[in-house]
Amino acid sequence: MAVASQVNVVVELSEPVTAVRPLGAEAEVTTVRFFADEPATLVAALRPAQEKAA
């Protein structure tokens, strides 16, 4: 099911990482935006990694 550009999770990285785009080009990214069916569950799973990095 297409989500049509809807975003309900935004992850801001502490430093840039290299991402490969769908057509193979590379880009430095500091923010990742996407849609998650259960955003609260995702954020709860990511929070321990955030606390460890702090």
**Spatial contact of 42 and 32, defined as CB atoms under 8 Å apart:** no
Q: Tell me the mean pLDDT in the region 27-32.
A: 96
Structure confidence at residue 21 as a pLDDT band (50, 70, 90): very high
Domain count, the chain: 1
Average pLDDT taken over every residue of the chain? 88
Q: Which domain holds residue 25?
A: 9-53
**Is the pLDDT assigned to residue 23 strictly greater than 90?**
yes
Instruction: Determine, yes or no, domain membership for 19.
Output: yes
Q: Tell me the mean pLDDT in the region 16-33.
A: 96
Cα–Cα distance measured from residue 7 to residue 14, given in angstroms and rounded to the nearest whole number? 20
